[in-house]
């Protein structure tokens, strides 16, 4: 399970799944409303950051270019099937 979370699943989430990040709250009249920024992948947030070195950003771009989202999804599905099989055997 750890290998899945640190391997293909983490790459899939980091590179291809956009996430909303909350900016704060705004009180309008009665109840407060949450304010969100635009949806971005964690990798896109790193690329947009001015605190990350350009060399690091270039390395990450090269790594993402070599990642196949369909292969990652297949690897995640296969690992989930193995986990489910193991779980059923232990019952």
The pLDDT mean for the chain works out to 89
Tokens of 68: 């196949």
CA 15/CA 61 separation, integer angstroms? 10
Tokens of 91: 């019952």
The per-residue pLDDT for range 18-40, each reduced to its tens digit, is: 999 999 988 877 788 889 999 99
The per-residue pLDDT for range 47-60, each reduced to its tens digit, is: 999 999 999 999 99
Region at 31 (left for phi over 0; alpha for psi -120 to 50; beta for the rest):
beta
* Residue linked to tokens 């790459």: 11
Q: What are phi and psi of 5, to 5 degrees?
A: -70, -30
């Amino acid at each position: 399970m750890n290998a899945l979370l640190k391997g293909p699943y983490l790459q899939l989430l980091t590179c291809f799944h956009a996430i909303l990040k909350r900016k704060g709250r705004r009180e309008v009249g009665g109840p407060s409303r949450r304010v969100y920024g635009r949806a971005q992948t964690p990798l896109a947030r790193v690329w947009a950051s001015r605190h990350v070195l350009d060399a690091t950003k270039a390395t990450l771009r090269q790594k993402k270019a070599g990642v196949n989202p369909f292969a990652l999804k297949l690897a995640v599905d296969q690992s989930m099937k193995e986990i489910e099989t193991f779980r059923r055997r232990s019952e």
